[in-house]
Structure 1
Amino acid sequence: MSASNNTDLEQVYREMEEEAVRHTRIALEHMKEYGIEPEGEVRPFLPPSERNEEIKRLPYEHETRQVVTYETEPGEFSALCPFSGLPDFGTLRIEYVPGDWIVELKSLKYYVVSWRQIGAAQEDLTPIIFQDLMKHLKNPEYLVVETEYNVRGGINTTCTIDSREQ
């Protein structure tokens, strides 16, 4: 790698670190407004706007209706807790009946793993993922996005959005 490429890469890392610190500071200030302060060590995290928003799609050319379900294995889906910067591991489940499009799985995988450096409340991730998928699928007969997180502090969190109930 040339010195120029090294310098460019170092600049990218610096900018990412600065963005992570800036976003972490904003998130912590927002929580403080509601009387919530982190306990222990806080690690920096990126905002949801930094996720990979590209989800490729393929045409669905069949007249037969089918239910398509994608579900991550435990540990594959995670984001960072905005209070600590520690990972929140969970399972992401997507179910839909295709309209004109289906999701291309490799791009879905890249989308899912792009959340690993994002700091957001568990309840905030589900609607963002739902909107991203709806944007790319365009016209599914229905779409359900569910996130179920590993138990923390004795509390299990499951968030579900079903387009039929919107």
Structure 2
Amino acid sequence: MPNTDVSGLTMLGTNTEAPKTPEEAVLERVPAGHGGTNYVVRFTAPEFTSLCPMTGQPDFAHIVIDYIPDEWLVESKSLKLFLHSFRNHGAFHEDCSIYIAKRIVDLLQPKWLRIGAYWYPRGGIPIDVFWQTGAPPEGVWLPEQGVAPYRGRG
């Protein structure tokens, strides 16, 4: 029987205020109940928002996070609040994208993780950021991230 102990969680099931910055955001984890089984967990954030560090104007992205758990899963409410904390955070696209991925890797120590951050155009140029921890385990089905490249009105 899978371990489903969630007794240490502080946000799940409570009214939780959104963190003001990514640094103060708390990411929580729960036990992965299927040790030894390689499967992909996907989180999609199609309305991610941060601020341009130079102009203070909002930047928008569609972020897809795929990972293969080892012993832990990220608790989804804490991830949602973590991603929300970027709304008043000024950072370049690359910094936001890689920071998100590395925080999750530090928390979970997954077998594998990749992030695809598909940023909407700024100054007429979309910036997409991709990173992964290495090669995924052999034999794992990895679906495409499903985000079309930016095409404007064409």
Question: What amino acid maps onto 2:92 in structure 1?
Answer: A
- Which residue pairs with 2:83 in the alignment? 112
1:65 counterpart = 2:76:
no
Structure-1 separation of matches of 2:123 and 2:98 = 24
Q: Are the equivalent residues in 2 in contact too, given 1:96–1:143 (CA < 8 A)?
A: yes
Taking structure 2 as the reference length, the TM-score comes to: 0.69
| Partner in structure 2 of residue 90 of structure 1 | 61
Aligned twin of 2:103 = 132
> What does residue 55 of structure 1 align with?
27
Task: Select 1:99's aligned residue among 67, 70, 85.
Answer: 70
SS of 2:55's partner is coil
Correspondence for 2:128: 158
Of Structure 1 and Structure 2, which has the larger fraction of its residues in helix?
A: 1
Gaps of 5+ in 1: 1-48
* TM-aligned CA deviation for residue 67 of structure 1: 0.6
In structure 1, give the amino acid aligned to 2:104. Answer: L
Moved over 2 A (4+): none
CA distance in 2, matches of 1:82, 1:152: 13
Q: Which runs of 5+ in 2 are unaligned?
A: 1-19, 136-154
Look up the SS of the partner of 1:115 in the other structure.
Answer: helix
Quote the Cα distance in structure 2 between the aligned partners of 1:82 and 1:64.
Answer: 41
Partners of 2:25 and 2:81 within 8 A in 1: no
User: TM-score w.r.t. structure 1 length?
Assistant: 0.64
Structure 2 match to 1:34: none
CA contact (8 A) 2:66 2:113 kept: yes
Secondary structure of the 1:72 match is strand
8 Å contact kept, 2:38–2:68? yes
Count residues in correspondence: 114
> Partners in 2 of 1:85 and 1:69 — Cα distance?
30
Q: Summarize deviations over 1:143-163 as a string: whole Å, max 9, x none.
A: 112211112232111101110
Is 2:52 the counterpart of 1:81?
Answer: yes
How far 1:136 sits from its partner (Å)? Answer: 0.8
- Give aligned-pair identity as a percent: 33
SS at match of 1:119: coil
The equivalent residue for 1:46 is none
Larger radius of gyration: 1
Hey, what's the Cα distance between the residues in 2 that align with 1:106 and 1:89?
21
